[in-house]
C-alpha cells in the first residue's frame, strides 16, 4: 500500500512514486525527452543476494518479452522503451488515463458495459496468443484518455506463455474473482469479459 511506503521513498531520483507492489515500485520519469515510467524490482533481503539478483533480472527480461509479445498479438500494452536487467528496471511508455477500476466508479452503466466488452476483447487477444496475464484486475488496466477503445493492459510481471487450456482457465477464474470482489454491483462488467 502507498501509505506504508516511507515518505523518503515516495519521491526518489526517478520521480514521483506512482505505485508499489510486493515485488516492485513504479516511478514517473522521463526517458529521451518523453514521459515514461520505470518499474524497479527491489531487493528481497530474505533471499540469498546471488539468487535475488538473478530472479529480479530474469523477471524484468521476462516482463519485457511478454509486453512485446502481447503488442505483437494486437493487445494494447505499454511500449517497452528500455530494459535494464543489471539494474532490474524496466522503462515503459507512460499511459495517461484512469485505471479501469476508477473508470467503473465514475462512469455510466453504458460506459461500463463498453469497458466490459473491451476487457473481454483484450483477454481474448492475450489468450489467442497463448499469453496468461496472471493478474487480470481492473487495477492493471488503464483507459487511455478515458476512451474504452484504448484499454491498455499493464503489469505483465506474472505473465507467461502457455499451451495449456487449464492455465488460460485459471487466468479467467482469477479475473472473475477479482472483478466480483472489486466491483460487486457491476454484474455486466463481470459477465461481459468472460463472454468475450
- Known catalytic membership, residue 187: no
Where does the pLDDT of residue 191 fall: very low under 50, low under 70, confident under 90, or very high at 90 and above? Answer: low
Helix (H, G, I), strand (E, B) or coil at 51: helix
In percent, the amount of the chain with pLDDT more than 70 equals 87
Q: What is the pLDDT of residues 3-12, one digit of tens each?
A: 454 444 444 4
Residue 178: its pLDDT value, please? 85
Given 135, 167, 187, 195, the catalytic residue: 135
In percent, the amount of the chain with pLDDT more than 90 equals 65
Contact 195, 120 (CB under 8 A): yes
CB atoms within 10 A of CB 9: 12
Nearest to 103 by CA among 75, 138, 155: 138
Q: What is the pLDDT of residues 8-39, one digit of tens each?
A: 444 445 688 999 988 999 999 988 889 999 99
pTM: 0.87
Q: Where are the beta strands (DSSP E) in the chain?
A: 11-12, 15-20, 24-31, 34-41, 80-84, 89-93, 131-132, 141-143, 151-153, 160-161
Q: Give the span between the Cα atoms of 95 and 112, in whole angstroms.
A: 20
Contact 141, 99 (CB under 8 A): yes
Residue 144: its pLDDT value, please? 94
Q: What is the pLDDT of residues 96-138, one digit of tens each?
A: 999 999 998 888 888 888 998 999 999 999 999 999 999 999 9
Amino acid at each position: 500500500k502507498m501509505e506504508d511506503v516511507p515518505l523518503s521513498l515516495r519521491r526518489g531520483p526517478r520521480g514521483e512514486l506512482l505505485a508499489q507492489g510486493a515485488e516492485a515500485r513504479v516511478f514517473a520519469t522521463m526517458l529521451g525527452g518523453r514521459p515514461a515510467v520505470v518499474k524497479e524490482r527491489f531487493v528481497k533481503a530474505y533471499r540469498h543476494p546471488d539468487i535475488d539478483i538473478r530472479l529480479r533480472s530474469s523477471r524484468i527480461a521476462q516482463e519485457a518479452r511478454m509486453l512485446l509479445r502481447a503488442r505483437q498479438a494486437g493487445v494494447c500494452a505499454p511500449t517497452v522503451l528500455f530494459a535494464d536487467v543489471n539494474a532490474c528496471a524496466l522503462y515503459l511508455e507512460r499511459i495517461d488515463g484512469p485505471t479501469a477500476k476508477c473508470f467503473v466508479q465514475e462512469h455510466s452503466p453504458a460506459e461500463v458495459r463498453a469497458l466490459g466488452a473491451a476487457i473481454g476483447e483484450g483477454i481474448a487477444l492475450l489468450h489467442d496468443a497463448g499469453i496468461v496475464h496472471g493478474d487480470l484486475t481492473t487495477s492493471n488496466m488503464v483507459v487511455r484518455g478515458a476512451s474504452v477503445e484504448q484499454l491498455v493492459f499493464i503489469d505483465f510481471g506474472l505473465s507467461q506463455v502457455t499451451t495449456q487450456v487449464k492455465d488460460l482457465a485459471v487466468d479467467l477464474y482469477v479475473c472473475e474473482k477479482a472483478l466480483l470482489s472489486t466491483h460487486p454491483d457491476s454484474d455486466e462488467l463481470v459477465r461481459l469479459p468472460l463472454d468475450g
